[in-house]
Structure 1
Amino acid sequence: MKSPAAWRTWAVGAVVLAVAAALLVAVGPEGAGAGRAGTARGHRWITDRQGRALVLRGLSTAGDAKQTADGMPWIEEKDVAREHRALGTNFVRFLLQWRKVEPAPGTYDRTYLKRVAERVRWYGERGYHVLLDMHQDLYGPGTGGNGAPRWATETDGHTSAPTDPWELGYAEPGTVRAFDRFWGTVEGGGRDLRKHYVGALREVAGHFADDDTVIGYDLMNEPWGGSVQGPAFESGPLARLYQDGIDAIRTVDRDHWLFVEPSAIGSNWGFATGLPRLDDPRGDGDEARIAYAPHLYPLPMDLGGGYTGDTKGRVDASLRAWREQTEKTARRLGAPVVIGEFGLDVGLPGAMEYVEKVQRMADEMGAGFAYWSNDPGSWAPWDAEMKPTVLLPVLDRPYPRAVAGDPVSYRWDEAEKTLTVSWRGVAGVRGGTEVYLPERHFPEGGRTEGGGRQEWNPKSRTLTLSSGPGAHSVRITPRG
């Protein structure tokens, strides 16, 4: 028999899921609206130090860092080399933990940050761009989750029991109270935990401000409002934390990008977010470097379903709604888009069709992505014995890593073995357009139509195209 607290947890969770499911059914092709045709005309891009637009493709590293005592992921340098060689990725979302950055109030563990920096160097030596992600789930160890230090976990005697699925743990009384204490939305005094969190963000940014491999900082993974939800949370406590974090980071790092996420409940499934536009002390417009990094987990799949049968239609509706809401929010924020997470068990029916569909959608949107995750197992490109899964060849696809100007469109047609890339060259951008051509599709390199002078590097599988201002378009097919 359930205790009263257990019944309340179950009831809250059931209501959340039931309302979400009802909304998802209501959002069909008519309600979702048509997505923007082609790719990113008028779209903002994350750029490198040469001014080139970056198309970010990679994995999150790594889920096991949530639980390890030292906060480090499972990888060694050889694993980074394997990932780069097998997938041609140029991006990694590297998990950090507040519990490790600030193990005691006001005390920062610089040894931890140095160990993170060592792993960032492994990626940097292979041309990666690293996003440092301040990660949490279910708040912290004191509530059955990870992220926050125990000293920053205030539950006022409320407890949190394990749940199935794990996401229902967000409705546990102890977890709700810990978040309420963090956000300062519950009556009574106490420490300003948000100030500590912002201080930890500033410490991380200060450590990596001069590191060119680091592309930016994800300010909080999947924020949750506790007892305050929806627009009231996103436009209130969450926006205030983000603005405080942005302002603090800019005192030590003027250049790196700052990535913000909406509340995961709802927005992951394609519902609207109330996250408002945020100010970057760097300036407005093109001077601002704030990126939008929502996650993508359509509700039927978030509940463990595959991409098949009746579920497929509901997932497609969710994807259309998610794209519409994401593009709408990105315009409001004036921000480029990176899908901070998407993924699923590769053994589910239709899983690879779904992954390919999301990749095509990202191409059409001009969005980067970090697949979840590189942890060996059923969600990854390799299994527990480090043997490739069916996911690896699906992720290993051609794409332009960096574009010397403003991308207009890029599209991979696997049936025709053709990659097309179009862009408008911009004066002042240095370097060429770099295109990754995997060996599985381009064993002898690529043959091009258009694109001007070119250079092929068979070791990195990179074709570099030289161009100047004006319109450019190239069609790349396998050589030989």
Structure 2
Amino acid sequence: MRQWRAIGWTVTGAVVAMAAALLVAVGPPQAPPVRTAAGHRWITDDQGRALVLTGLNTASSAKSRPDGLPWIKEADVQREADELGSDFVRLLIQWRNVEPRPGEYDDHYLAQVAERVRWYGARGYHVMLDMHQDVYGPAVKGNGAPAWATEAEGLPVAAQGQWELTYLEPGTVRAFDNFWGNRTASRDLRGHYAAAWAHVARRFADDPAVLGYDLMNEPFGGSVQGPAFEAGPLAALYRQTITAIRAVDAGSWIFVEPEAVSANWGLPSALPYLTDPRGDGGAARIAYAPHLYPLPMDLGAGYTGDAARWVDRTLASWREQTEKTARRLGAPVLIGEYGLDITLPGAPRYVAKVRAMAEDMGAGTAYWSNDPGSWAPWDQSLRPTPLLPVLDRPQPRAIAGDPLSYAWDASARTLSVSWRPKDGVRGDTEVYLPARDFPRGGVVEGASAGFWDAKSRILHITSGGAGPQGVSVRIRPKA
């Protein structure tokens, strides 16, 4: 979901109590220390290169359409590739469409999803499939779960002007409680969910465009919140689903999210370490994919004045807690959602700040979302909004080694990337140089430029003569 707008009243009650509990959260032993130059893990491709994933969520429209598919056509994917240079998409899918009846899967729906995956794959994208839910499912005025898997026991769910408040309705809480096992449901709903994911993974295990699977969008615990939820029912579902996926797909990345209502605001997570039972004996491929929606923005504020100062404190806390959780999980980080109505004051500056923070963290990003409108790079007529030049940013896409750092200095018009060569890594380092900043391509200092693809605007760099500190390159616009 985009944000928990208009629930600020809970901050003085249940959320404060949750925050206090989270501060003392503990879990099972964490992963061993990560031995990389940057001190954290990276999402990698089949050549062993570290990936710097940036792109959009596609799309909110999939939540409300009966067919569960986003609004896009192939031409829209091409426009995104041309105008943004994205290399990643968080593609929303719906459990209600995957498993419309208990134990029966709609392979026609998955074939349509596969067609859209092909559109992205043909343009060099990495696709993460996201099993999306907001407010559980349509039977309780949300999206995600099928009606047969919604056991609200007849409790009411009143329509709310602010849809996020529907999470607090009695029927919604009861549906979540029956799913998580906080009560006794008539079916093994979590078993169905894990099996549905296994069916999806079996379909896409050999698709080279599919990077991995986001197990659940913004989990909500019903009547169980905080550490009791994250270290209990949520971790149990993740372990069950990871095991089911690994039975059919040993190689794809698996992305896990924390409880949304706390982690989105920069509060600690109690998500414990999760073992990856990969059958091929390779290193764990579990990534951490929290979302970022500071509370003032959830309440409709822009990035200015007191709200901006609050947001800056939130960003510092969010980064600290995210990196702490990632170390416990032994996982790389991808910001699965962030964004803001671009018409609000200071919004472009906020988005640029999040992107710069992600670069400093070595984290991927998926902006919410590509649905045309005030949150998107395009308006309803598909004309660029002020967001587009903020997102269309020079950056590495794939780094052929162990990354040290990368950053774009707009004032100096210089992209800096440094890494150490690593045994077993194949291929070139690939850098995206947008036309607005590099109209004729780039000049590389510190390494050998392999070739420049003017159509994709990708500069290929070979490590060349790496020194004892590795490779450090600076790329400036060609005169």
Same fold per TM (> 0.5)? yes
1:178 paired with 2:200, answer no
The equivalent of 1:420 in structure 2 is 416
1:58-100 superposed Cα distances (whole Å, 9 cap, x missing partner): 0000000001111110100000000000000000000000000
**Alpha-carbon deviation of 1:24?**
12
1:355 paired with 2:351, answer yes
Q: 1:440 to 1:278 in 2, by over 3 A?
A: same
How many residues in Structure 1 have an aligned counterpart in Structure 2? 456
* Alpha-carbon separation, structure 2, partners of 1:40 and 1:311: 36
1:372 paired with 2:368, answer yes
Q: Percent identity?
A: 65
Q: 1:89 to 1:23 in 2, by over 3 A?
A: farther
Contact 1:445–1:456, Cα closer than 8 Å, also in 2:
yes
Contact 2:8–2:299, Cα closer than 8 Å, also in 1:
no
Q: Which stretches of structure 1, 4 residues or longer, exceed 6 Å deviation after superposition?
A: 20-26, 283-286
The equivalent of 1:281 in structure 2 is 277
The equivalent of 1:342 in structure 2 is 338
**Alpha-carbon deviation of 1:165?**
2.7
The equivalent of 2:38 in structure 1 is 41
Indicate the SS of the match to 1:78.
helix
Normalised TM-score (structure 1): 0.92
1:260 paired with 2:256, answer yes
**Alpha-carbon deviation of 1:161?**
1.4
* Alpha-carbon separation, structure 2, partners of 1:70 and 1:324: 40
Indicate the SS of the match to 2:335.
strand
1:161 paired with 2:155, answer no
Letter in 2 for 1:110: D
1:46-67 superposed Cα distances (whole Å, 9 cap, x missing partner): 1101110000000000000001
Q: 1:307 to 1:279 in 2, by over 3 A?
A: same
Letter in 2 for 1:89: S
Contact 2:18–2:226, Cα closer than 8 Å, also in 1:
no
Q: 1:283 to 1:302 in 2, by over 3 A?
A: farther
Indicate the SS of the match to 1:393.
helix
How do 1:97-108 residues align onto structure 2 when only pairs under 5 Å count?
Answer: 97-108=94-105
1:270-297 superposed Cα distances (whole Å, 9 cap, x missing partner): 0001100001002899710000000000
How do 1:59-74 residues align onto structure 2 when only pairs under 5 Å count?
Answer: 59-74=56-71
1:249 paired with 2:248, answer no
* Alpha-carbon separation, structure 2, partners of 1:285 and 1:13: 45
* Alpha-carbon separation, structure 2, partners of 1:323 and 1:426: 28
The equivalent of 2:288 in structure 1 is 292
Q: 1:258 to 1:174 in 2, by over 3 A?
A: same
Could you tell which deviates more after superposition, 454-463 or 16-25? 16-25
How do 1:39-438 residues align onto structure 2 when only pairs under 5 Å count?
Answer: 41-186=38-183, 188-282=184-278, 287-438=283-434
Unpaired runs of at least 5, structure 2: 1-5, 21-35
Letter in 1 for 2:152: T
* Alpha-carbon separation, structure 1, partners of 2:37 and 2:142: 38
Q: 1:439 to 1:189 in 2, by over 3 A?
A: closer
* Alpha-carbon separation, structure 2, partners of 1:158 and 1:24: 25
Letter in 1 for 2:448: G
Indicate the SS of the match to 2:415.
strand
* Alpha-carbon separation, structure 1, partners of 2:205 and 2:19: 45
Unpaired runs of at least 5, structure 1: 1-11, 27-38
Could you tell which deviates more after superposition, 167-176 or 12-21? 12-21
Letter in 2 for 1:143: V
RMSD value, Cα: 2.0
**Alpha-carbon deviation of 1:164?**
3.6
Letter in 1 for 2:476: T
Contact 2:178–2:185, Cα closer than 8 Å, also in 1:
no
Contact 1:13–1:171, Cα closer than 8 Å, also in 2:
no
Q: 1:421 to 1:15 in 2, by over 3 A?
A: same
The equivalent of 2:473 in structure 1 is 474
1:184-210 superposed Cα distances (whole Å, 9 cap, x missing partner): 102x45111111111110000000000
